[in-house]
Amino acid sequence: MTGQGVAGCPLGDPAPAVPRFYPVASRREDTADTVTLELAEPGGPVPAFAPGQFAMLTSPGVGEVPISVSGLGDGGPGQARLLRHTVRAVGAVTRALCATQPGGLIGVRGPFGAGWDVASAVGRDVVVVAGGIGLAPLRPVVLAALAGRSRYGRIVVLAGARTPADLLYADELDRWRRDGAEVAVTVDRADGSWGGEVGVVTALIGPADLAPGNSVAFICGPDIMMRVTAEALADLGIPPGRIRVSLERNMRCGAAWCGRCQLGPLLVCRDGPVVSYDRAAALMRVPEL
């Protein structure tokens, strides 16, 4: 059987259905319920995950869930390449993944799905809007744009979190600023240590003074946050075809076999998770779809 199946997986190749087990090289606690795991390639190159694509991660004996890639790394001199995932503990499988210590094994299938297509923003301003854990799938967008800094215009990162303690990558946000990104952050509820903005992430759009005709927007977060943010950016004048959202649905196979992730005419694991807002807008407005 020949041809091309899901992204990165030739038809007839058993790889889409069979996990490879990666040892955990490092584990970092980002917040009280969120952990970043670095998985070391056990032999051969790390699969070519594009920003926005996801893997199906397996906690042996517990189950499997889709998790977006939050970065790739070389692991330092003489070390294996690394696959990074930032995971929030919200269920049995993600709690088990978050609890996995260095040396433990996690199964990986993928890459799956459509990515952000950062290269299509060359020559334009890159606008990243993240809500909560949504900053994890968007991290590779920021890193790719900063790595090719001369190819892009402004790099604007607008991030929201529930509280200051829930903010992801706080140390990296400062580094992104030093590297040339414009970063603004807001929280829903402040504490005594917080001196920044308080409110929804859409409140950061106006002060960012975006250039709608020259911007490509990348949005990830809760469904309602993405819908409201995409509407606000479209109202500002960014064409819906240049606004991208990352859809989240109940994915089981990752390879468009089971149909569990159907959203209207889309199978999110194949046609998404990244979808342009001109395709997603009508679907996101249907309650319970």
Q: Look at residue 106 and tell me if it is in a domain.
A: yes
Query: Taking the complete model, does pTM exceed 0.75, yes or no?
Result: yes
Residue 202 in domain: yes
Range(s) of the domain holding residue 203:
118-284
99 and 216 both lie in a single domain: no
Asked whether residue 207 is domain-assigned, the answer is: yes
Q: How do residues 27-45 score in pLDDT, each as one tens digit?
A: 999 999 999 999 998 776 6
Q: Looking at the structure, do residues 108 and 217 belong to the same domain, yes or no?
A: no
Residues 177 and 140 in one domain: yes
Q: Kindly give the pairing relationship between strand 262-263 and strand 243-246.
A: unpaired
Nearby residues of 251 by Cβ (< 8 Å), 6 or more positions away: 54, 56, 66, 260, 261, 268, 269
Q: Collapsing DSSP states into helix, strand and coil, what is residue 232?
A: helix
Instruction: Write the Ramachandran bin of 127: left for phi over 0, alpha for psi from -120 to 50, otherwise beta.
Output: beta
Torsion angle defined by CA atoms of residues 102, 85, 270 and 90, in that order, rounded to the nearest 10 degrees: 90
Distance between CA atoms of residues 198 and 195, nearest Å: 9
Q: Rounded CA gap, 145 and 153, in Å?
A: 9
Same domain flag for 153 and 198: yes
**DSSP 8-state class, residue 45:** P
Q: For position 3, what pLDDT does the model report?
A: 33
Residues 172 and 263 in one domain: yes
pLDDT at residue 34, as a whole number? 97
Q: At what angle do helices 170-178 and 135-147 cross, to 10 degrees?
A: 20
Residues 136, 108, single domain; the answer is no
CATH number for the domain spanning 187: value is: 3.40.50.80
Q: Is 94 exposed, middle or buried (0-12, 13-18, 19+ CB in 10 A)?
A: buried
1 within a domain of the structure (yes/no): no
- Which of 76, 95, 112 is a domain's end point? 112
Are 98 and 34 within one domain? yes
Q: How many domains does the chain have?
A: 2
**Same structural domain for residues 138 and 178?**
yes
Say whether both 239 and 200 belong to one domain: yes
Residues in the chain: 289
The CATH number given to whatever domain includes residue 104 is: 2.40.30.10
Residue 75 is predicted with a pLDDT of: 60
Q: Note the pLDDT of residue 118.
A: 95
- Whole-number average pLDDT of the chain: 89
In this prediction, the residues of the chain whose per-residue pLDDT falls under 50 are 1-14
* The domain boundary residue, chosen from 89, 112, 135: 112
- Mark which of 112, 147, 164 sits at the end of a domain: 112
CB of 115 closer than 8 Å to CB of 137:
no
Q: Determine the pLDDT at residue 51.
A: 93
Do 123 and 170 belong together in one domain? yes
The answer to whether residues 145 and 266 belong to one domain is yes
4 in a structural domain: no
In this structure, is residue 131 part of a structural domain?
yes
Do the domain assignments include residue 83? yes
